[in-house]
Structure 1
């Protein structure tokens, strides 16, 4: 049994107390973090080691973005792709030799700014180009692979609190959903979350800080994803969302997701 978690932590050093709480309470074998917001030498390696997570692959940068994969089981850094094409730290891939040689890709897709028009919003164009580069990469995958992280897209109507109101809001626009579908089709990915929690059941992983009572208002979106190669998807035995983490002290605006495999 191997348990893998993904979580956009929105500053790992600031939120290390809730990361520690999650690891102690739920004990995933591997934790993939996005938006760590620190350089590699600033990452809290010792705090993770004390919790039993001695194996790390960290791709950081000063102040923004950044991804890290920490593990209780051995890992080998496998790749760093610059799908943003500007040097930002948004991806790290690892191999898990004791988990059937699985390749685990950890990615933080750009948010895309506020206007869903690449002619007036450079960030939106960068997001679409990022997805296109990921799609070309996925065409060539030839090993059991899982890709997890903050995709910054909620593709299904039931992935957002109000489909009609959000059709023109970045993260749920038709052009983004179509781009993400092309990425899915490129490798035949299985959307583990939606295989385990089928639509139209409610499934969110992010709630804005702007909502003071996030649970009552429940204006969520499913921005975080865990996708697996078709062969690997057959070995999934469970998937969980930890919504309570959104109410912990100094929370991230995202919550952890975990997938369990019988390898």
Structure 2
């Protein structure tokens, strides 16, 4: 049974909730990752702060390949990530939680694959179900067990390049294309986890309605305040999900079977 990783911000990745915790670094071909590792109720966890220890890395400059490869080499077999999102869907209100099941990629300048030719070759990974259905069902069960959570079990995550917020015209376009949520960090993270044969799911917390839907201009402070208000509830949901998750074998861990598995 492999490790479970949580990728998120400092409010969620709180090493104080772990036992036998230690802080460490790992060098990979793509760069160095910083993480904490410890146990929670006899399960081995890894906390990886996506934006760095002091939230100093903007979304478009996150070293996604180093993060996912580092977690793979640590023995991680499942990742629960957290994202703060704006809502394009009036049913997904600020304070709600959403489990995306699809995404639309509007990023522009990111490395989206481990397989760019050369030594690693070329791989075409199936993305019919980009988010692990087993992990998603586990989060739904955790929300039901805890009670008091408004959790939407599906949604399309629109990932933009950032770090700027979107224009109302862009939001209208994303809405017409079927987007429900808008954020800046889920792609290529989900794609790389898929290539690395790691189960992956995202719990998105709605912090605001998107530009043109919100009655006021968007600010980063608004997002930070909303995250702070709900970070404890998000943390409880993640920990309950980990309690319920059996971390057994899954189809996500065989996505590159036709290529002989993930060998980067």
TM-score where L is the length of structure 2: 0.33
TM-score where L is the length of structure 1: 0.33
